């Protein structure tokens, strides 16, 4: 099967073994008794969407939460029930504590061809500061399992800016990550999310200058290892860029399944009820799981499109800025290497992407 316009599917698995104190995602550590009913509800929500003509997916992303906490066979069978194009990119987000080669082979049998591994750091005291439960050996074993299971692609997620992380710690995390020879890496500055325990402890908040230095280190070492920056926080070998992420950045349509999952169709965005209990109850009683929706006006859509694309190597049309602003942005944006009608961020510009977005004409 093939499809012309990309369409993405996201499945949310809201269970975690423990809650990281910086995380604001819809996840719970005391709901293991709901796993069975939750997976059934997920399956039902998908069947209902397919029955009313959901487009064929070009990418699927199973995220969380911790997808590796639910039985792999059940997850695989749900993934296999989603209609996809023949060359679909299908990713499962994995925690290094849980990954094993049998689990990955089970995913593989359902068409999964990409793993995103939550490494976060390779420094024991930084992992402890982040409240993570895995260690360096878990990461090494997971990467080995990913290779043994013949996964065609994988991503390693890392975070910089945790309390107690020195520049040397971060440099050595990046070196360790590069040594795994990953086809894709995402490096995120630790963000203080409102309402998290981290938000209530200002002495542990990251410092902007320290994070900028760490971004420079990441970009330099990933770049010299052949990983090309294609979005502010993402680096990949050619051909391993995440198609699912690009679909979000290019404002294509996507459908999210599960509690708190977001969907988008032609400028209308909606999201499901937040808790797994409410989600399960509604699906089981044939109710509507949609919690709320918004329709974006043309101006908001344009702003979001420019803001997202500016962060990518697609860049944006040069006339998104006035002539005067372009002069002010000297050294921060440059002409696109293959398209004179567009501009892209420089390395220095990437550090100021948000501020630059406030200058659109
Ligand atoms: C929500 S987690 C889900 C995957 C998995 N449970 C994990 O933690 O690795 C997905 C990614 O979001 C990123 N993330 C979550 N909270 C963050 C925060 N406050 N600041 C920066 N990155 C964050 C981490 O890099 C993480 O790998
Ligand atoms: S394991 Fe991942 S999803 Fe779960 S609490 Fe930690 S960061 Fe959030």
Q: What is the pLDDT of residues 272-287, one digit of tens each?
A: 999 999 999 999 999 9
Note the pLDDT of residue 1.
Answer: 41
**Residue 105 CA to ligand 1 centre (angstroms):** 24
**Residue 303 CA to ligand 2 centre (angstroms):** 30
**Residue 341 CA to ligand 1 centre (angstroms):** 36
Instruction: Give the closest ligand to the alpha carbon of residue 190.
Output: 1
**Residue 88 CA to ligand 2 centre (angstroms):** 26
**Residue entry with tokens 């991503």:** 155
**Residue 19 CA to ligand 2 centre (angstroms):** 6
Count Cα atoms within 13 angstroms, Cβ side, for 45.
28
Note the pLDDT of residue 2.
Answer: 43
* pLDDT tens, residue by residue, 16-66: 999 999 999 999 999 999 999 999 999 999 999 999 999 999 999 999 999
Residue 3 has pLDDT above 60, yes or no: no
Judge contact between 122 and 176, C-beta under 8 A: yes
**Hey, what are 328's tokens?**
């002010």
Instruction: Give the closest ligand to the alpha carbon of residue 194.
Output: 1
Query: What's the 3-state SS for the chain?
Result: CCCCCCEEEEEEECECCCCCCCCCCCCECCCHHHHHHHHHHHHHHHHHHHHCCCCCEEEEEEEECCHHHCCHHHHHHHHHCCCEEEEEEEEEEECCCCCCHHHHHHHHHCCCCEEEEEEECCCHHHHHHHCCCCCHHHHHHHHHHHHHCCCCEEEEEEEECCCCCCHHHHHHHHHHHHHCCCCEEEEEECCCCCCCHHHHCHHHCCCHHHHHHHHHHHHHHHHHCCCEEEECCEEECCCCCCHHHHHHHCCCEEEEECCCCEEEECCEEEEECCCHHHHHHHHHCCCCCEEEEEECCHHHHHHHHHHHHHCECCCEEHHHCCHHHHHHCECCEEEECCEEEEEEECHHHHCCHHHHHCCCC
Mutate to test the pocket of ligand 2, among 14, 32, 64, 121 (most ligand atoms within 8 A of CB): 64
How sure is the predictor about 161, in pLDDT bands with cuts at 50, 70 and 90? very high
* Position in ligand 2 atom list of the atom nearest CA 22: 7
Nearest CA, atom 3, ligand 2: 65
Left if phi > 0, otherwise alpha if psi is -120 to 50, otherwise beta: which for 245? alpha
CA distance linking residue 198 with residue 163, whole number of Å: 10
**Residue 15 CA to ligand 2 centre (angstroms):** 9
Q: What is the pTM of this model?
A: 0.96
* pLDDT tens, residue by residue, 115-149: 999 999 999 999 999 999 999 999 999 999 999 99
Left if phi > 0, otherwise alpha if psi is -120 to 50, otherwise beta: which for 172? alpha
**Residue 27 CA to ligand 2 centre (angstroms):** 7
Judge contact between 116 and 91, C-beta under 8 A: yes
* Position in ligand 1 atom list of the atom nearest CA 198: 19
* Position in ligand 1 atom list of the atom nearest CA 192: 19
Query: What's the 3-state SS for 263-298?
Result: EEECCEEEEECCCHHHHHHHHHCCCCCEEEEEECCH
Gyration radius (Cα) of the chain, Å: 21
Note the pLDDT of residue 278.
Answer: 98
Q: How many residues does the chain have?
A: 361
CA-based nearest residue to 178, from 250, 103, 237, 231 = 237
* pLDDT tens, residue by residue, 318-341: 999 999 999 999 999 999 999 999
**Residue 251 CA to ligand 1 centre (angstroms):** 22
Ligand 1 residue neighbourhood (C-beta within 6 Å): 22-23, 25, 63-64, 66, 93, 95, 118, 157, 159, 188, 190-191, 193
How sure is the predictor about 250, in pLDDT bands with cuts at 50, 70 and 90? very high
Nearest CA, atom 14, ligand 1: 23
Mutate to test the pocket of ligand 1, among 10, 18, 23, 211 (most ligand atoms within 8 A of CB): 23
**Hey, what are 114's tokens?**
């990409």
């Amino acid at each position: 099967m093939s499809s012309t316009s990309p369409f993405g599917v996201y499945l949310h698995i809201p269970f975690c073994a423990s809650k990281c104190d910086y995380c604001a995602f819809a996840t719970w550590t005391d709901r293991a008794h709901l796993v069975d009913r939750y997976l059934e509800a997920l399956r039902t929500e998908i069947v209902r969407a397919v029955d009313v003509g959901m487009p064929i997916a070009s990418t699927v992303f199973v995220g969380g939460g911790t997808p590796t906490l639910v039985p792999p066979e059940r997850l695989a069978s749900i993934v296999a029930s989603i209609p996809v194009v023949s060359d679909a990119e299908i990713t499962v987000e994995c925690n290094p504590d849980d990954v094993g080669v049998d689990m990955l082979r089970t995913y593989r049998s359902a068409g999964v061809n990409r793993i995103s591994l939550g490494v976060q750091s390779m420094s024991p005291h930084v992992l402890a500061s982040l409240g993570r439960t895995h260690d360096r050996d878990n990461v090494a074993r997971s990467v080995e399992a990913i290779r043994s299971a013949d996964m065609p692609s994988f991503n390693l997620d890392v975070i910089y800016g945790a309390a107690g992380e020195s520049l040397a710690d971060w440099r050595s995390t990046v070196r360790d990550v590069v040594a795994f020879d990953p086809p894709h890496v995402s490096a995120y500055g630790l963000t203080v999310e409102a309402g998290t325990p981290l938000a209530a402890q200002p002495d542990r908040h990251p410092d902007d200058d320290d994070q900028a230095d760490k971004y420079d280190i990441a970009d330099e070492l990933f770049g010299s290892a052949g990983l090309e920056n294609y979005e502010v926080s993402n680096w990949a070998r050619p051909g391993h860029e995440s198609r699912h992420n690009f679909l979000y950045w290019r404002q294509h349509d996507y459908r999210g399944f599960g509690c708190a999952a977001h969907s988008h169709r032609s400028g209308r965005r909606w999201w499901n009820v937040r808790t797994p209990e409410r989600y399960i109850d509604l699906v089981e009683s044939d109710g509507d799981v949609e919690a709320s929706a918004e329709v974006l006006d043309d101006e908001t859509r344009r702003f979001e499109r420019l803001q997202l694309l500016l962060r990518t190597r697609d860049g944006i049309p040069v006339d998104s800025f006035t002539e005067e602003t372009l002069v002010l942005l000297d050294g921060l944006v440059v002409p696109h290497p293959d398209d004179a009608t567009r501009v892209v961020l420089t390395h220095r510009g990437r550090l100021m992407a948000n501020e630059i977005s406030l200058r659109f004409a």
